[in-house]
Structure 1
């Protein structure tokens, strides 16, 4: 008996006569070739017996290149990494995981140097609230915000009158000055959009000069629920 692995065209084993075979063999693929040649010495026990079982496929995950420590990162690389963090505590943990709490205490401790005007004028015991400053930037950057839209223009229905004629919707707005993409110009675009229905009064002229048709109707309007900064197409 011969067992061959066609994937790599290698012979896994050959056994003759009463020679015992190996306990198991593992092929590289999902096929094997078995060659069996018998003589007439043992007509009462013809053939052979083989047991096989499929093996689970192991998928190796791609190796993610390890980032160098922050102290060895370039300015652009470190700037991009820090920009994705939400609080000053997370920044300190990223920079110095072992001593970030000490760094937090040192950060707001007055030194022999001249204190900045923001510290003196605001009379803050711990200096500027960096988390609040970052949150203010986030709120007024590329985010969903209230916009008033004309229903006739939005729905392209110049044949009817809506009341109210304008409604508030959430639309993406703000700038992308802190865009993390490496491109010349970023623009604020919707990342998740939802259609919402609003009940309004619809007025429409009846045929033959018979006055106005008045009815309540639902109008669908597009609302932007999430926004993101992307590179602007040239």
Structure 2
């Protein structure tokens, strides 16, 4: 049975195990994977390839600066979180490759919360929508094969976070 005839969940699980897009395409269409790869990368009128760059911050030289930096890393800050695209986009009709991407989301503790409240929680104060180019697979209408397209998916990234009183956000 061709890969495209499998159920979306079975196909999603199989596709998630591959390391490269070439492996995905070979699995889906062993006889024509190179043609499919060329088709995906043909220029279109749309702007493609949106991405963002993570810059590393340098650590302090003095021990106290290092201690402070370590506390900051584990306190309420944006950090990389892996999200499932199907879950994040609430799309049960499509498969994405890669199936998971890293996004910045608020995390960490608020142990050093300066607010006078019982339950301080880490929440985003600045959010941005960023677009990530991925391979999207969908069954064609009438069940005749898979439609393969490169598409930009919008994901929410938390750029700034702070500790807030839980009671204030309810």
TM-score under structure 1 length normalisation? 0.44
User: What are structure 1's unaligned runs of at least 5 residues?
Assistant: 1-127
Q: Return the structure number with greater strand share.
A: 2
1:133 and 2:77 matched: no
Q: Residue in 1 aligned with 2:38?
A: none
Q: What CA distance in whole angstroms lies between the structure 2 residues aligned with 1:132 and 1:165?
A: 36
Q: How far 1:224 sits from its partner (Å)?
A: 0.4
Q: What CA distance in whole angstroms lies between the structure 2 residues aligned with 1:225 and 1:130?
A: 26
1:156 and 2:90 matched: yes
Which of the numbers 160, 164, 180 marks the counterpart of 2:114?
180
Q: Relative contact order, CA 8 A, sep 6+: which one is greater?
A: 2
Which of the numbers 76, 81, 90 marks the counterpart of 1:147?
81
Which of the numbers 181, 184, 191 marks the counterpart of 2:125?
191
Which of the numbers 101, 104, 113 marks the counterpart of 1:170?
104
Q: Residue in 2 aligned with 1:204?
A: 138
Aligned pairs for 1:1-234 within 5 A: 129-233=63-167
Q: How far 1:131 sits from its partner (Å)?
A: 2.3
Q: What CA distance in whole angstroms lies between the structure 2 residues aligned with 1:208 and 1:134?
A: 60
Q: What CA distance in whole angstroms lies between the structure 1 residues aligned with 2:146 and 2:63?
A: 59
Deviation by residue 1:117-145 (Cα, 9 ceiling, x = unmatched): xxxxxxxxxxx822221121012110000
Higher Cα Rg: structure 1 or 2?
Answer: 1
Deviation by residue 1:55-106 (Cα, 9 ceiling, x = unmatched): xxxxxxxxxxxxxxxxxxxxxxxxxxxxxxxxxxxxxxxxxxxxxxxxxxxx
Q: What CA distance in whole angstroms lies between the structure 2 residues aligned with 1:217 and 1:140?
A: 34
Q: What CA distance in whole angstroms lies between the structure 1 residues aligned with 2:81 and 2:87?
A: 14
Q: What CA distance in whole angstroms lies between the structure 1 residues aligned with 2:64 and 2:135?
A: 48
Aligned positions, number:
107
